[in-house]
Amino acid sequence: MSPEIQAKIAEWRDKAQRGVLSVDEMREAIRLLREDRVTAAQTASRAKKAATAAIPSADDLLAELGGI
């Protein structure tokens, strides 16, 4: 999450505690938080795919070099 979004969230949290958060600000906060969750889910999915990719063993790599 960018520093700008974190600052906005802190501002919205403060306004909510004081009871002065507008409906439009609530909508914007929900939209930004949803976007961040989607992005985080996509990043986690990519990381999982990368982690499960087949890594060849050193023996296999050396065997390939031996054939050159």
The reported pLDDT for the residue numbered 17 is 94
Tens of pLDDT, residues 13-66: 999 999 998 999 988 888 888 887 656 555 666 666 666 666 777 887 778 777
Domain boundaries, the chain: 3-66
Which DSSP string corresponds to 18-62? HT---HHHHHHHHHHHHHHHHHHHHHHHHHHHHHTS----HHHHH
Residue 67 banded pLDDT, cuts 50, 70, 90: low
